[in-house]
Chains A and B, each alone.
Chain A
Amino acid sequence: MQLPELAFAILIIAALALSCLTPIILLALFVKDYFSKTIW
């Protein structure tokens, strides 16, 4: 049984979208920690 084209596209695009969110989340957390002086 082969993975259909639509499922293939959804899988890749969803993974890519999640990957793109990561740097935004990390930078937001860093800014929050920086201003609350809780980096270390």
Chain B
Amino acid sequence: MTEFALDTSVGLTIVVLFGIFWVVFGFWLGRKNKTHEDFALAGRNVGFAFAAATAMATWVTSNTTLVAPQLTYQFGIWGMIGYSFAALGLLLFAPMAKRIKKLLPNGYTSGDFVRLRYGQAAWWVFIIISVVYAFGWLISLGMAGGILLESLSGLDYHIGMTAILIICVGYTLFGGMRAVIATDFIQALIIIVGISAIAFWLINNVGLDSIHQNLSAEHPQLLDLLFPAAVMFLFNNIFFGLGEIFHSNVWWSRALSFKQGVAYKAYLTGGLMWLPIPIVTGFIALAAPQLGIFPPSADMIGPTVAAAVRGTTGAVLVFIVIFSALASSLDSLLAATSDLVTQDLFHKKLCPNASDKSLLRFNRYCILGLGVMTWLFCLPRIATLGALLNFAGAFVASTIWPIVLGLYSRRLSGGYAALAMAAGTGLGLVGYFMVGFYVAALISCAVSGLICALGVWRAQSLFDWQQLNEEGG
């Protein structure tokens, strides 16, 4: 095998062909978009099949395909089991999605909910958290695109990163949410078939017993059920996953775009379909020591093993799988973040009388602007994917209790919600820098929870749910 599993020309050809297909498909789907609601929420009419697929595919990101194997390689068996517990986020969001649809029949974003439920102070804290998280995720996805192309085909990091951003911005810009959800369906099929095929090849070529024996003899800590840092990681990852899903407009805008009666079962099905994926991708990494593979960068362990087992075919397959995983999340994040900026900042703060046409135009400019900003942040390769991802844990885990209590309890006020999110994030970041990434989300969630409990206990008034039903979005 040469230094790279794929020729640079093959890698480029795949990117160009996929790029053309997705952009043309996005353009074709975008023909039906007549209003801003069509563009941002697919007319609030997405059926069960597309809804379940988009829930699963969006949650399968570069983090699942690159970071889950990386964490398995570092933390062993708890790395992959801990990662799969992130499915809890989708499963627990299922009843919340149903309630969101009921409480905010005219809502557009998670920001809408926080503004109406908690007021301005909490809204500002929430928007800062959302923007930090969205950029952290966007940058990690853009970087993953560049790293993937470079490590598999030798193509320069900057060219690969630029290519995937152009493609995703292209089809999201033309097709809006409809294109995002329809491409997610196809990408979900590609991802799941691809990773299953690689795992089957590994079992056939290397063998489960052989992998277990090698790990027992040479790397017993990877099979250790009492690996302390790994157990801490498991709990941290649960709260991180809950925070990511509960607060992010990626998931709220989907809940609002699904047909009536679909949101609950779509998130439940999506979560169950997602659950085994980190275990399958993590298993691929556990075969690395047996195959004598020790990659220079831990986040490339999955692709390197796949390429080693199946040569060029494996490399092409893993290339397409990770490309699809990246695209399925990048497009969702571009669409959801641009909706948040358009609805929460432009429409509600700057231009309340904006026409439907201006909102549609501004939303498209936003997608373009977000793409350019992500590209600029991705230019320097600033951190490993895992480190970048876990930094955001301190931010998002602080939103879990304010969101849950905001949806189900009338007792938590805006002041306590704002304080809970701000203090949770601050102390979570202290934990991140002073202890380690694996406690950031835990500390953030615990601090926020304590403040919320105090707020509920000391409540002076009860919230009126009718205030959430804002006419005209």
| Chain A residues within 8 Å of B188, by CB | 22, 26
Task: Give the Cβ gap from A1 to chain B, nearest Cβ, in Å.
Answer: 5
Contact A33 B225 (CB under 8 A): no
- A1-30, CB under 8 A of B: which get 1 and which 0? 111010011011111101110110111011
Task: Give the Cβ gap from B295 to chain A, nearest Cβ, in Å.
Answer: 21
- Please tell me which one of the listed residues A9, A19, A30 contacts residue B185 in the complex, with CB atoms under 8 A apart: A30
| Chain B residues within 8 Å of A5, by CB | 208-209, 212-213
| Chain B residues within 8 Å of A9, by CB | 208-209, 212
Contact B208 A2 (CB under 8 A): no
Q: How far is the CA of A29 from the CA of B43 in the complex (A)?
A: 20
Contact A15 B276 (CB under 8 A): yes
Contact A23 B193 (CB under 8 A): yes
| Chain A residues within 8 Å of B185, by CB | 26, 30
Q: How many B residues touch A, CB cutoff 8 Å?
A: 46
- Please tell me which one of the listed residues A19, A25, A33, A39 contacts residue B269 in the complex, with CB atoms under 8 A apart: A25
| Chain B residues within 8 Å of A3, by CB | 77, 223-225
Residue B85 at the A interface, CB < 8 A?
Answer: no
Task: Give the Cβ gap from A37 to chain B, nearest Cβ, in Å.
Answer: 9
**Interface locus among B45-53, B109-117, B135-143, B450-458:** B45-53
| Chain A residues within 8 Å of B208, by CB | 5, 8-9, 12-13
Known: A1-B226, A2-B223. A18 touches B50 (CB 8 A): no
Q: How far is the CA of A12 from the CA of B279 in the complex (A)?
A: 7
- Please tell me which one of the listed residues B43, B48, B199, B224 contacts residue A33 in the complex, with CB atoms under 8 A apart: B48
Residue B238 at the A interface, CB < 8 A?
Answer: no
Q: How far is the CA of A36 from the CA of B289 in the complex (A)?
A: 50
Among residues of A, the one whose C-beta sits closest to the C-beta of B275 is A18
Question: How many A-B contacts if CB must be within 8 Å?
Answer: 102
- Please tell me which one of the listed residues B42, B84, B193, B277 contacts residue A40 in the complex, with CB atoms under 8 A apart: B42
Known: A19-B195, A23-B192, A26-B188. A38 touches B259 (CB 8 A): yes
Known: A22-B192, A33-B50. A12 touches B283 (CB 8 A): yes
Q: How far is the CA of A40 from the CA of B226 in the complex (A)?
A: 48
Contact A15 B279 (CB under 8 A): yes
Contact A22 B178 (CB under 8 A): no
Contact B49 A30 (CB under 8 A): yes
Residue B216 at the A interface, CB < 8 A?
Answer: yes
Contact A22 B273 (CB under 8 A): yes
Task: Give the Cβ gap from B30 to chain A, nearest Cβ, in Å.
Answer: 13
Residue B196 at the A interface, CB < 8 A?
Answer: yes
Q: How far is the CA of A16 from the CA of B336 in the complex (A)?
A: 31
Residue B311 at the A interface, CB < 8 A?
Answer: no
Among residues of A, the one whose C-beta sits closest to the C-beta of B49 is A29
- Please tell me which one of the listed residues A8, A14, A16, A32 contacts residue B199 in the complex, with CB atoms under 8 A apart: A16
- B220-231, CB under 8 A of A: which get 1 and which 0? 100111100000
Residue B412 at the A interface, CB < 8 A?
Answer: no
Residue B459 at the A interface, CB < 8 A?
Answer: no
Residue B56 at the A interface, CB < 8 A?
Answer: yes
Q: How far is the CA of A32 from the CA of B259 in the complex (A)?
A: 15
Contact A40 B178 (CB under 8 A): yes
Which B residues are closer than 8 A to A by beta carbons?
32, 42-43, 45-50, 52-53, 56, 77, 81, 84, 178, 185, 188-189, 192-193, 195-196, 199-200, 203, 208-209, 212-213, 216, 220, 223-226, 259, 269, 272-273, 275-277, 279-280, 283
